[in-house]
Chains A and B, each alone.
Chain A
Amino acid sequence: MSRTTTPAHRPDALAGGPSGIVVRGVHRRFGDFVALEDVDLEVRPGGLTALLGPSGGGKSTLLRIIAGLDHPDSGSVEIGGRDATFLPPQRRSVGFVFQHYAAFTHLTTARNVAFGLEIRKRPKAEVRDRVAELLELVHLEHLADRLPSQLSGGQRQRMALARALAVQPEVLLLDEPFGALDAQVRKELRDWLRRLHDEVHVTTLFVTHDQEEALEVADEIVVINDGRIEQVGTPGELYDHPANPFVMSFLGPVTRLGGALVRPHDIEVLTDDRAGAVRVEVTRLLRVGYEVRAETRADDGSTPWVQLTRAQVTELGLVEGRTVWLRPLVDTPFPAAGLPADASGPVAGPAAGCPDRVPA
């Protein structure tokens, strides 16, 4: 199984582009724990890139190394074509947004946003105008005089973002920016970040462990696991052509069918035996929101599940206990052995609504 690191087809000339990020050969250990191992990464200028991976995989460490808040044991970091490996965070021209906001609690929203400008001793009028502009951008103009403790989590994070953008950084780094927020706010902020990026166009790199967030927001996704980059690509590429079973299972639901990994919506249900099909018995029909999950049992004891619509279920006349044949609709490049056991069952898919039995 090959690990895809920096895609070879990307021209190296881009590395010197105006405000990209280039990470080369970065290692970082904490005692015996290897957080990052020989990581190479190029982030395109002006893009919105997600660092996606399970917690403890090293993605936050990588982000902090790029920001200068941590230092690699070896390797180098370039920002906007300048070598930044040994630059202090103050001189890297990065905006950093923390999961827990890191708001200056003693300053109002406006003063928080103004902080970087005041430090740079910009004229008062300029600071005022820029702060007003940014507060408008993040829709907090009416809360300019509030203290952070009087803001909601989502508002605080928007303030933190405005604060980071105020100094016009070359790159914007966000560390699990929506991780501390509840689901509803998370979703709103996600859409909003996408729109904001379309307006501002600053090179943005954000860390997340939520594959849905990455798929929805990012132009490009970097999957990190166990301190290594597993794959880099657009959301479509990664979803449809995962480089390995880890990426496949991390980016969406998977199930085992006939000893291979396949997405449960890429399975065809047949009412008669055909070439390449696996005979199964429908053990349970579970309605989750708009979809129906058909759980089955094959003769070899495996339990593949299929994602269907209600119309399909009706059309096929599926009922619990019925025997049907399953066949993958796409190529299955990975044998099921490569998949961690816990991901094989019907894990909660993207649409985890309230389950409801389909009337038989």
Chain B
Amino acid sequence: MSLVAQVDRATRPASGRGRRPGELTGGAALGLGVGVLWLSLLVLLPVAAIVSTAFDDGLGGFWDAVTDPEALAAIRFTVGAAAFVTLVNAVVGTLIAWVLVRDRFPGKRVLEVVIDIPFALPTIVAGLVLITLYGPSGPFGINLVGTRAGVVLALLFVTLPFVVRSVQPVLIDADREVEQAAASLGASGFTIFRRVILPTVTPAVVSGAALSFARALGEFGSVILISANLIGKTQVSSSYILKMIESQETVSAAAVATLLLVVAVVVLVVLDVLQRRTARRG
């Protein structure tokens, strides 16, 4: 939220341009009904099915399923890799966003487009892309297939845009005068970054990082080729779930899926709280 916008909000009456949401009327209520039905069939029922199946054999069955050594290893590795990737993204993503917003150099437009490629590129193609360069026949002689580093690389690839795209607009909106005010108060470049810019972008960094964590946690397509799916080493949770469902181990699949689901919900809730807090502060 820019300062100017804040000023506008502070000086203009709150009503602004009419934002008076209405009560549900006939047509709208019908539309809502259809939408909710669609959502139920598509999202709510399947999610409920996962959670309920996870507990088909009771709490003990659920516990056994998620503490199975293979499952546990997959979960541990997935969470660890996702956390690491998120950390890297928080730093590098902020840095890239900064360069995109504040720097000017030839080819910046190309960089902008390249950053979006991981968003649009099918995940399986992303995996293939990485294997070509960092696989057995890669030009650098670096073979990351079947290594944890390879999985991390794939996760870094698919999560690259999250922090960049969430921090970028905040930096664009950031009031340069605030930095100038800090400078005239004696703050050095680094102090301005740490005490003025960083606090401004932190909510955006956290929200981008949370999205990238959720994405990394559930990633499947891009890692499947480069991981070689080595049990206890490079197998990610998603691969484990797929393996379980394909071998009719429904409860095991549902139990680990439930775990991932819970994490996703927690991330969504955290993001929501964060956004509300930022909105309040403006």
Contacts and interface: CB of A to CB of B under 8 A. Distances in A.
A–B in direct contact per CB < 8 Å:
yes
Interface of A: 67-69, 88-92, 94-96, 98, 100-107, 115-116, 119-120, 147-149, 151-153, 156, 160, 163-164, 166-167, 180-182
Nearest to B191: A119
B188 to A, nearest CB: 7
Nearest to A155: B10
A96 B181 contact: yes
Q: Which 10 A-B pairs have the closest CB atoms?
A: A116-B185, A102-B181, A102-B177, A106-B199, A149-B282, A96-B184, A89-B183, A89-B184, A102-B178, A98-B177
A181 B188 CA distance: 31
- The size bracket of the interface on B is 20 to 34
B281 interface: yes
Residue among A68, A100, A148, A164 with most chain B CB within 10 A? A100
30 contacts: A67-B184, A69-B183, A91-B186, A96-B181, A98-B177, A98-B180, A100-B7, A100-B175, A100-B177, A102-B3, A102-B175, A102-B177, A103-B178, A104-B181, A104-B199, A106-B200, A116-B187, A119-B186, A119-B195, A149-B281, A149-B282, A151-B10, A153-B11, A160-B181, A163-B181, A163-B185, A166-B185, A167-B185, A180-B7, A180-B11
Nearest to B182: A115
Given A153-B11, A180-B11, A102 B183 contact: no
B186 A116 contact: yes
A120 B195 CA distance: 13
Interface in B1-25: 3-4, 6-7, 10-11
Contacts of B262: none
B196 interface: yes
A166 B182 CA distance: 13
A274 B157 CA distance: 92
A322 B224 CA distance: 97
Contacts of B180: 67, 69, 89, 96, 98, 102
A100 B181 contact: no
